[in-house]
Structure 1
């Protein structure tokens, strides 16, 4: 008869423990993403284009070196509206470039074209601690709340 009272208490304790562990794991991942982003160069679109033109082939077709055009995620921050867009690419420099020439997220391009101020951060998958681009992107979208309060239309790929 005592087991009837102990079992619900035990199940509630188990459920609370599960949520605490899950919360701590999510907090650890957010801290990891912020650390990765804070340890990368932050560029404006103009600085990005200048770097691209000087370092990777100049005018015309971009001739990005495979050493620089890495697999990773990028964080586009609309500083004027404090909104984020997170994306991924096997050649991240090409993907970032596309957004500022109208071949990416249409809302990002429209806000850029109409004069909003932007910054760009890029995180390499290599040495990030994540196994796949999808995993890194999904956690970065969540960290920057880019789905609920940003430009992302999905929570990322599974």
Structure 2
């Protein structure tokens, strides 16, 4: 009887330690994502579209040179509804552009056209501490809870 008690007690302790380790790792990742996002320029869609039109040739032309169109994730925040959408792209500027010109997430575009107030943050994969876009995107979706309380319909790519 004592052996089973100690075995059960040991198993419970092990499970608690695993849980605490996972919670600590998730906390570190959340902090890393927030730091990355807070160290990037925040734009409104209007600022972004104006920048696109003035600096990169405007509509109908190649939007951005490869020097500026980096691989990364973007965080779209609907301040009017307190909702997030997180996405990724090998050419992140083109992906952000698609959401505010009707070729991206339909719900994001509808709320933008309806007049909700938005902000945009973009995080480059390079020097982010993450090894893949999928890993960075999945961590950002989890950090901003944009699957449960936002526009994301998945928890991130499975690839």
- Superposition TM-score, scaled by structure 2 size: 0.96
Where does residue 6 of structure 2 map in the other structure? 6
Where does residue 152 of structure 1 map in the other structure? 152
CA distance in 1, matches of 2:152, 2:62: 26
Render the CA deviation track for 1:59-80: whole Å, top value 9, x for unaligned: 4313411111000000000010
Where does residue 62 of structure 2 map in the other structure? 62
Give matches, 1:46-85, under 5 Å: 46-85=46-85
Give matches, 1:109-128, under 5 Å: 109-128=109-128
| Partner SS state of residue 116, structure 2 | coil
Deviation beyond 3 Å, 4+ runs, structure 1? none
Deviation of residue 143 (structure 1)?
Answer: 0.3
CA distance in 2, matches of 1:4, 1:91: 57
CA distance in 2, matches of 1:62, 1:39: 28
Render the CA deviation track for 1:16-51: whole Å, top value 9, x for unaligned: 000000000000000000000000000000100111
Where does residue 143 of structure 1 map in the other structure? 143
Which structure 1 residue ranges, 5 or more long, are not aligned? none
- Superposition TM-score, scaled by structure 1 size: 0.97
Aligned residue pairs total 158
Where does residue 25 of structure 2 map in the other structure? 25
CA RMSD in angstroms comes to 1.0
Which structure 2 residue ranges, 5 or more long, are not aligned? none
| Partner SS state of residue 7, structure 1 | helix
